[in-house]
Amino acid sequence: MTNRPTKRPTNGAPRTRSTASRREADADGAPLGASGKALMILELVSAAREPLSMAELVRLSGLTKPTAHRITAALAEMGLIERDHWKRGYIEGPRLIKLAFDTLAAAAPRALRHSILRALSQEVGETCNFGVLSGSEVIYLDRVEAKWPLGLRFDAGSRVPAHASAIGKLLLALQPLEQRAEIIAALPLVQHTNRTITDAARLSRALDKIRESGIGTDEQEYIDGVVCIAMPVLTESGDLVGAIAISAPNARLGLDQLLKFAPALRDATTRMGATFRLDPEERRAAASTRSGGRRAAAPRRTSGRAQARAP
């Protein structure tokens, strides 16, 4: 049997692995296994500021299109990623979000950010939360309860409706106007008390006022007898990463009295924002992502560019 000669490119160099094969390798050149490729997809989706299309996943990961399709389908079936509400691309799925929040909740008591919340709670004598926007809800990543008999009992990881909470209304208010309108149109404006805003137009007007003041408020809109104020946590570069809120029973403090704690709350958000500093390598990666041609903000995220004016 005649041996076929090894094919060579026109430049005479020996044939090497395909470009796709080379890209499906780690930093040391070793081929990525299925788990490595899946982790790569999860990292790309989690870091993106808006839903990633399949074409973007293929381009950013360097995986072949069939491989990317196979892995995203498996991750979606597991609930780790999912198509966004408007079917524009892939976002984090409920299982991945739960994993992230469980990790943060477990680590929070040991973290600097928890100590900032604890110091604020001790200073004002009320319950303090750090939360982020996730779809139509706010998720508390960390919480310090006030040492009062009449207290509010929520654990880290608890969810509250965005349209009826101080953090949620604040983070909605700071979204780009077009995206905010899309979110409001999709929100289930469920009534929780007789003060809950359930009309989209009225909610939009309330968010305009919050955007102007820089302070989110909840005047017994989620729970009867509970008031709350919130301010945004911004990084040094202006990225919105979440918000801190102070809540109290109205029987002890009315909303006007709670607003007197605004200076202490503002100081806490500034210190919290400073904990999100990026090292030089992370700054380069973030700059590269921002210059990649994608829009800077997405309605599902709390980590978009936002400007908030403090009163």
Parallel, antiparallel, or unpaired for β 226-234 and 90-92?
A: unpaired
- The CATH number given to whatever domain includes residue 252 is 3.30.450.40
- pLDDT of 22 over the 60 cut: no
Is 190 found in the same domain as 65? no
Segments forming the whole domain that contains residue 120: 101-290
Burial class (CB in 10 A: 0-12, 13-18, 19+), 214: buried
Is 118 found in the same domain as 74? no
Task: Report the number of distinct structural domains present in the chain.
Answer: 2
Residue 233 phi, psi dihedral angles, 5° rounding = -105, 115
Q: Does a structural domain hold residue 26?
A: yes
Q: Does a structural domain hold residue 215?
A: yes
Per-residue pLDDT tens over the stretch 256-311: 999 999 999 999 999 999 888 644 444 444 444 333 333 333 333 333 333 333 33
pTM of this prediction exceeds 0.75 = no
Per-residue pLDDT tens over the stretch 68-84: 999 999 998 898 888 87
- The CATH number given to whatever domain includes residue 72 is 1.10.10.10
Q: Does a structural domain hold residue 310?
A: no
- Cα gap 176→97, rounded to integer Å: 23
Is 227 found in the same domain as 149? yes
Is 176 found in the same domain as 27? no
**Torsion angle of alpha carbons 192, 194, 200, 204, nearest 10°?**
-100
- pLDDT of 11 over the 70 cut: no
Angle 112-124/262-274 helices, nearest 10 degrees? Answer: 170
- Cα gap 215→245, rounded to integer Å: 10
Is 209 found in the same domain as 149? yes
Q: Does a structural domain hold residue 61?
A: yes
Is 60 found in the same domain as 115? no
What's the pLDDT band for 105 if we cut at 50, 70, 90?
A: low
